[in-house]
Structure 1
Amino acid sequence: MQAKNLSGGQELLCVNVDKVYDWVVNEASFDINIVDEDLPEGLDCDDFDPAEVTCTVTPEDVDILTREDRTFIIDGIETTLQLVNIRKNFTVTLTIPTTTNGDEEVELDFSRCEQVVLCAPAGTEIDVTYTDSDCFVCTFDCDPGDTDTDPTFDASINVNLCQSIQSTFPVTVELVTEFCEPRDILPTPCPSPVRPPQCPVVFPNNGNGNGGE
């Protein structure tokens, strides 16, 4: 049941919110090339199948490097927007399933930069959030090394990120609102007692081979 607003409960409120100056949603896809990375200690190339190596990507902090005013003609109108340079940091975790020690993991930190055009004048904050992140191992080549070197690997990883980028600024807005009541408690009637099923064939036995309840 939906609760009704309190009658006559309107009030003029000042609320602190973030005004969204601009907002874009896009997809970023790029490759990561790993060269001569050490295998986990004690692991050899013969201990796993390179085709079974998988990866996960974990986005980390985002750095806003610079923003520059640029003039654009949009629908015939000259408009000043900002070219924003963004550095995205993330961790790629390679999972190596071995035949002896279970799964071994290798964590690698990477950064990638990109540019985006926004209405993001000086003073606005730029927020980057990820709605989805994924990766897959394109190639994985293991080098067993020799008596003087440890085993290493080369890998090519494709990363896909679905990202939301907003420029915002804190503002105080004035709203006429009504206070709400909490919803009604949902009815939860107690169930009736239920008698367990009987076993008259085995108990009690009345002597004639037929059970009774």
Structure 2
Amino acid sequence: MSGTDMSWFAWWSEADWIIRSVFIILVLLSLASWTMMIQKVFQFKNISKFERLVRQYLLGSNSPRTLVLHHPVHVPSVHLAEELPDHAELSELNEFAGQILREKKLDLESGLTLLATIGNSAPFIGLFGTVWGIMHALQALGGVEQISMDMIAGPVAEALVATAVGLMAAIPAVIGYNFLLRKLRRLNALIDGNAVRIVNHWGRGD
């Protein structure tokens, strides 16, 4: 077994339950953020593909009433076409469409709050672990008459692992949040454009 592996095992064996808990929490938060990012990327990609198909379908002078026959109903524009009432004024259609789209957009935003929370809180959780580790190390050295740098450097370096893990959890979450937010804005613009076409067609009785 290499010396690096031994140092990692030594760090874990010498850490108290609070440092271990901080480390486990940060690892779980990192896994949760990566899982959410991958899930949202595939979700946005899938819906964007179908929304573009819906746009081409509507631009081809096809009736929005037949959208559900050719496209998946989980697509926001298709769901809108399925839920719109047959007999209503244009103002009522716009209000009804706005309500449906707000609900669908909230569904698309789910998970982004988790990424933002992890990105904001993970560094502080790691910092807490570091402060606790340093305090624990200094208390252990309190009864030592002659303190050398080696005696201080080891425990402090072990405590700083918590900060490093906190940053490793936070940085991808922040980058992923900003990336997904930009993707969501583009997707919402596409959805809004399709919604306008659907309502206009519906209002004319197409």
TM-score bracket, shorter-length normalisation: under 0.3
TM-score by length of 2: 0.19
Larger radius of gyration: 1
TM-score by length of 1: 0.19
Query: Hey, which of these two has a bigger chunk of strand by percent?
Result: 1
